[in-house]
Amino acid sequence: MSQSVAITGIGIISSIGNNFDETVASLQASRHGIGTIQHINTRHKDHIKVGEVPHTNHELAELLQLPTTTSYSRTTLLGLIAAQEAIISATLTSEEISRLGLISATSVGGMDITEQQYPFENMAAKTEELLRQHPAGDGTNKIAKHIGIEGFTTTISTACSSSANAIMLGARMIKAGQLDRVIVGGTDALSKFTINGFNSLMILSDAHCKPFDNLRKGLNLGEGAAYLVLESATTATKRQQSILGYLKGYGNANDAFHQTASSADGEGAFLAMKKALEVAQLQPSDIDYINAHGTATQNNDASESAALQRIFKDALPVFSSTKPFTGHTLAAAGAVEAVFSVAALQNNLVFPNLNFDTPMEESGIQPNLQLTTKPLQNILSNSFGFGGNCSSLIVSKNL
């Protein structure tokens, strides 16, 4: 009999809050974190809007009570803050913590440091040491060490679906009895590399992003980190830990259409959502709210709309993209939005899709515009990335 997967810990940092409570307060107040970039000196600073965590790396290190000489990658610092909050909220003993698995995700890794050290000629020993932080797995190792995790540890990197895949792997390993408990999620910091990368693709907006709007013209990049602690419902109940929700469904499919663009009929997205419903043993009509990927690019929103209509036909549930709040936090997005889904379930709140004016010609679908109270049982959350990687999660209030 496979285990149900309970969510027993939660942690998050983004441009709308340093922790879960601050984040929920911002969502409830429709208070977004989008603005002009402060901490990176880029030529594009006046031409883009971003969701930036309003702290320097030094301040983030202080929040973590790390030595003042710490020069960790910003990706790692954000990850440490969110992971630490999740662990504390799960109220685990140090023995239980040591036995945790850790499945993290990132796309930037230590690139925020690497790009500052570039070019590499005539390197000092200090630079070499900093460059050891470049690979994606390094931040995960630092999180494991800082928290005291000794069990199965890994890192996933599938662009914008990364942390959704991390959550999915954690749930699968618990169901298969391979892990009792695991912390899952991801982290990404803003970097010149990604700012320029997305800019070269011409999909950044110089205004506040408008998901699903007919005049949408691109995304706002964001940064942040979010983690969930997952465990079997049995162990959670046994230790009388309060359960925040259940990871009921998940699905991963590949669009196999193009390296960066999504197919017009949203095949990868359609298959991912379909699989998530099958795993959850739910019908489309059981979904009360969808946290869409909704990056506000021409391509994603059209493709995602097509996929949503294929799954839900004439009965599309209320939906919104929360990227106008936080920006697109890349690899962290799946976990950030899973945390938002837990917040939605706890408060029976559907968050607004900010900045929306006119339905898109392609589909005519209309997202939820106001903060709305509604009884919520099952929430579907989508994350679609470059490379055709499509992942969907279903978070539920009850077993």
Partner 1 sequence: MKPCYIISSSSISAQETFEQVPFLQNVHPLENNISKARYPKFADYISRGALRRMAIGSKMGVLTAQMALEKAALTNPDAIITGTGMGCIEHSEKFLSALHENEEQFLTPTSFIQSTHNTVGAQIALSLKCNGYNVTYTHGSNSFESALVDTQLTLHEGAQTVLTGAIDELGTEFIQNTHYKNKALSFSEGAHFFVMSARKNSTSYAKLTAISCEQTITLNNFETYTKAFLAKHQLSVATIDAVILGSFEGDENAYVTKMTNSLFPHNLQLNYKHLCGQFDTASAFGFWAGTEILRTQNIPKALIAKGRVSGAIKTLLIYNQHNGKNHSFIVLQSC
Note whether 201 binds partner 1 by CB under 8 A.
Answer: yes
The answer to whether 163 touches 155, Cβ cutoff 8 Å, is: no
Of 159 and 339, the one with the shorter C-beta distance to partner 1 is 159
Whether residue 293 lies in the annotated active site: yes
**Interaction pattern, residues 36-75, with partner 1; x per rule: CB under 8 A:** ------xxx-------------------------------
Q: Please select the residue that binds partner 1; options are 188, 231, 267, 337, rule is CB under 8 A.
A: 267
Q: Please select the residue that binds partner 1; options are 5, 7, 24, 173, rule is CB under 8 A.
A: 173
Using alpha carbons, list the distances in angstroms from residue 301 to 1, 94, 168, 349: 39, 44, 23, 23
The answer to whether 119 touches 291, Cβ cutoff 8 Å, is: no
Closest CA to 336 of 57, 65, 66, 23: 23
* Start-to-end C-alpha separation, the chain: 14
Q: Please select the residue that binds partner 1; options are 13, 80, 87, 169, rule is CB under 8 A.
A: 169
- 157 vs 165: CA distance, rounded Å: 9
Closest CA to 273 of 160, 383, 397: 383
For residue 318, the SS3 value is: strand
Closest CA to 185 of 207, 164, 203: 164
**β 378-384/224-232 pair status:** unpaired
Of 38 and 196, the one with the shorter C-beta distance to partner 1 is 196
Choosing from 32, 55, 160, 390, the catalytic residue is 160
- 218 vs 205: CA distance, rounded Å: 4
CB of 149 to partner 1, least distance (A): 6
**Computed over its alpha carbons, how large is the radius of gyration of the chain?**
20
- 143 vs 102: CA distance, rounded Å: 9
Choosing from 32, 209, 293, 390, the catalytic residue is 293
Note whether 235 binds partner 1 by CB under 8 A.
Answer: no
Whether residue 328 lies in the annotated active site: yes
CB of 97 to partner 1, least distance (A): 12
CB of 173 to partner 1, least distance (A): 7
Whether residue 390 lies in the annotated active site: no
Note whether 140 binds partner 1 by CB under 8 A.
Answer: yes
Interface residues for partner 1 in 85-124 (CB under 8 A)? Answer: 102, 106-107, 109, 111, 114-115, 118-121, 123
Of 21 and 128, the one with the shorter C-beta distance to partner 1 is 128
Of 90 and 136, the one with the shorter C-beta distance to partner 1 is 136
CB of 198 to partner 1, least distance (A): 8
- 66 vs 60: CA distance, rounded Å: 9
- Both tokens of 44, joined, read 């594009």
* Half-sphere exposure of residue 50: CA atoms within 13 angstroms, side-chain side: 30
Q: Which stretch binds partner 1 (CB under 8 A): 21-29, 152-160, 204-212, 317-325?
A: 152-160
Q: Please select the residue that binds partner 1; options are 3, 141, 348, 366, rule is CB under 8 A.
A: 141
Q: Which stretch binds partner 1 (CB under 8 A): 65-73, 127-135, 339-347, 365-373?
A: 127-135
Choosing from 55, 209, 328, 390, the catalytic residue is 328
Using alpha carbons, list the distances in angstroms from residue 24 to 18, 21, 346, 368: 11, 5, 10, 18
Per 3-state DSSP, what percentage of the chain is helix, strand, and coil (rounded to 5)?
35, 20, 40
* Residue positions annotated with a catalytic role: 160, 293, 328
Interface residues with partner 1 (CB under 8 A) are 42-44, 102, 106-107, 109, 111, 114-115, 118-121, 123, 128-129, 131-132, 134-138, 140-141, 144, 149-159, 165, 169, 172-173, 176, 178, 192-193, 196-201, 252-260, 267-268, 271, 385-389
